[in-house]
A and B are shown apart, each in its own frame.
Chain A
Amino acid sequence: MTASPGGALLVFAVLTPVAGILLSFALGGRAAERITLALAPIGLALAGFIAFLVARSGAPLVYVIGGLPPPLGIALRADGASATMMVAAALIVPAAAFYARAKFATPDGVAESRGALTFWIMLQAIWAALNLIFLGADLFNLYVALELLTFAAVPLVCIDGRPETLAAALRYLLFALFGSISYLLGVALLYGGYGTLDIVLLGERIAATPLVWTAAALMTAGLLAKTALFPLHIWLPPAHANAPAAASAVLSGLVVKGSFFLTLRLWFYVLPALPMAAPAAILGTLGGCAALFGSILALRQPRLKLLVAYSTVAQIGYLFLVFPLASAPAGGALGWSGGFVQVLAHAFAKAAMFLSAGVLAEALGHDRIAHFSGAARALPLTFLTLGLGGLSLMGLPPSGGFEAKWLMLRACAASGQWIWAVPILGGGLLAGGYVYRILAPALADGVVEVKARPQLSRELVALGLVGVALALAFAPEGFFEFIQIGRPLAGGGAS
């Protein structure tokens, strides 16, 4: 394995936010906020340039750290899927940072405050961890990335310091630690069996033995707990609903996608030699159940943030349909594209909706849906964002959500797996129900008392994010070719 020209950029994509964390922690106080905001353009430029290099060469970008190649050393690898996710993270994290400036400014009169320092450092840590998850090509290196992600995400949940936020964070921590240890056990087994942790080398060597099946089961179970796939979803709604809006946007939009991305890496890159039909059917069934069950629970929530959080449970479900669809002998490429468009559409739409829910809760002083009558007249931009985000969640055109479902349905048709159309269409119908529950009272006659005028800039950040979710509907053909770059075609992943 040799490094590609420009491969060092992959390491810098991880090191830049890491340097930010160390500097912020050492300098303390207001520096943490300034450093995070200064990182935004650098991170976006790095992600964009890496995507450009991958697109130009049409092959994955590789860097061998220290010039010491695997199996002893570690490599980083950017394929089309990694570069796409890095660009998404480089848009959503800065948007959340920009939105959070007002809430997490260090107050006058103190040198440093608990909430501000924690928020800004953990936000940079999430960015570093996600970039490493998207680029990692070594299973233990990816474990370190998962730990970085967990230890950054959990404190964000209880940053408000209320007792119920602490309880939600503790529950999240327990699930996440179960996930870590389970993943690590599987990694140790694979090393014991094959003497390497490099994804490419493992993919070439692995055969379907009891050891590999046990490792696969342990690692998958751990990653599902971190992704909150039904029935391991119970930690997600309280955690995402109790975090501050800017943190919820990143947690729901990006953090759960990190462990989902690793589940994809595991099954399509590390384990292509395993017969995929049975595990793909199990993952697809859990995903289908999540899509229906999460939507039904979202329909019953009295508060907007909880509703949006339960909608995340449902939308995560669709992601797992990629396993049966992309591993099918026919239509695999359609299923793969559909899965990635769903990841992106949900990331942007959900981040926008959580930011809007934050604007709304601050303006009205509550987020009880029953008391929204007439709110759309008072906060038209925010409800426009919520409505457009809902459009993508339902899967109506023109939106990324529609594009994702359309691709997935075509993959169902091409591979003859009609059963997965049930959750795709049924979940969309139920999403229509819960989006209607938000919008109908808001558009009705009534007068709400606006306690504080929302800042226009924050409403525009949310609208901009939802704009990206809609723009995905017009993604050119080249984009779908791009996310297929480096996708393995052997074994389970035939096109």
Chain B
Amino acid sequence: MSVLPALDVGLALLVVGVAAWTIAARNLFASVVGYVAYGLLLALVWVRLYAPDVALTEAAVGGGVTGVLLVTAGKRLDALASAEVGVPPGRALKILAGALAALVAGALAWVVLTLPSPAPSLAPAAAEAAAGPGAGLGNPITAVLISYRSFDTMLEKVVLILAVLGVWSVGADAAWGAAPAPLRKVRPDGAMILLAQFLAPVGLLIGVHIFWVGADAPGGAFQGGALLAAMGMVAMMARLAEPPRIDSRKLRLALVAGPAVFLIVGVAGLALADNLFAYPQNFAKPLILFIEAFMVLSIAVALPMLVCGPPNGSPK
């Protein structure tokens, strides 16, 4: 066996092993660490499957943002003295859930093997269309997200806004308008602050770069935005920055900017290119980058706000 297939088998076994460990871990923190490691390994799997865009997203969201979210949630649960553990699920329920999961996994494994080979795919058509005169993009994934399936992409950002409002809405009435609690209660030590001071500016630059090259190379608004979001959270964990007040006009505008600009450009398409969400022939690429810039902003703000949680403290 040559080196790469052997590495692939090892990677696959490692992913399954880490997944099993994440479920088996008794300690909440340990299983969160397992989950983050699982996300990073999955990102490697995507790289091996020649899907660098998915890998970037998986690393940023599955490994990064979700990890911080789970660690923060775990810490807040620990802090609640009254956080009583309910009745643990009984043996019968566990067996039932396990059997159901095994059935679904087995069925999926079986039918994936029955897939026609090569599987029917729109990827070649998307690549051809993306490079064509209408879009002039080198990255078919960006073309699919911002052009062919623009309607989906815009609405997903609206879902993100609903999620942020949903998180805010479980706060207390009296706290409405205030800022969420800081990500860390205590002041961090010098090492954390130093790390954030070095890492955040570099990450910021990489995030903007990933967005900027996304039109032609792997990357794009979501990956870039997620990386910027992670850097924002690093700064907040080092207490170099604090969560903003939720009634801040700037925050609200940053959150709606992405979908709002997308919607306006999409509707303008009816006048400029005869179709809703169509781009005029020669302006497709600059328009796509224009929309993506605002999407990066909205994503970079929305993800940390989801992690920060509901408003806390006094409104004034």
Hey, which bits of chain A sit against chain B, CB under 8 A?
8, 11, 14-15, 18-19, 21-22, 25-26, 28, 63-68, 71-74, 110-115, 117-118, 121-122, 125, 128, 132, 140-141, 144-145, 147-148, 151-152, 154-155, 158-159, 161, 166, 185, 189, 192-196, 209-211, 214-215, 217-218
Contacts and interface: CB of A to CB of B under 8 A. Distances in A.
Contacts, number: 168
A15 B163 CA distance: 19
B155 A148 contact: yes
Main secondary structure of the interface of A (DSSP, over half): helix
A137 B266 CA distance: 19
Given A71-B122, A196-B122, A211 B147 contact: no
Nearest to B116: A193
Most interface-central of B144, B170, B273, B279 (chain A CB within 10 A): B170
Interface of B: 104, 107-108, 110-112, 114-116, 119-122, 125-126, 129, 144, 147-152, 154-156, 158-159, 161-163, 165-166, 168-173, 176-177, 247, 249, 252-253, 255-256, 259-260, 263, 266-267, 269-270, 273-279
Nearest to B277: A66
A193 B108 CA distance: 13
Contacts of B253: 26
Contacts of B273: 67
Contact of A28 (B110, B158, B252, B277): B252
Contacts of A18: 154-155, 158, 259, 263
20 contacts: A22-B260, A25-B161, A26-B249, A28-B247, A66-B269, A66-B276, A71-B122, A72-B122, A114-B176, A118-B169, A122-B165, A128-B158, A144-B159, A151-B166, A161-B170, A189-B112, A193-B116, A211-B115, A214-B108, A214-B111
A118 B165 contact: yes
Main secondary structure of the interface of B (DSSP, over half): helix
Nearest to B164: A25
B170 A66 contact: no
A115 B173 contact: yes
Contacts of A15: 263, 266-267
- Nearest 6 pairs between A and B by C-beta? A195-B120, A67-B275, A118-B169, A66-B277, A151-B162, A155-B166
A286 B115 CA distance: 31
Contact of B120 (A132, A145, A194): A194
Given A11-B277, A141-B151, A152-B162, 8 more contacts: A22-B158, A22-B256, A26-B252, A72-B144, A122-B165, A151-B159, A155-B169, A161-B172
A15 B112 CA distance: 37
B169 A211 contact: no
Contacts of A8: 270, 276
B278 A66 contact: yes
Most interface-central of A18, A73, A122, A215 (chain B CB within 10 A): A73
Contacts of B274: 67
Contacts of B270: 8
Contact of A25 (B112, B169, B255): B255
Nearest to A151: B162
Contacts of B176: 110, 112-114
Nearest to A107: B173
A191 B233 CA distance: 36
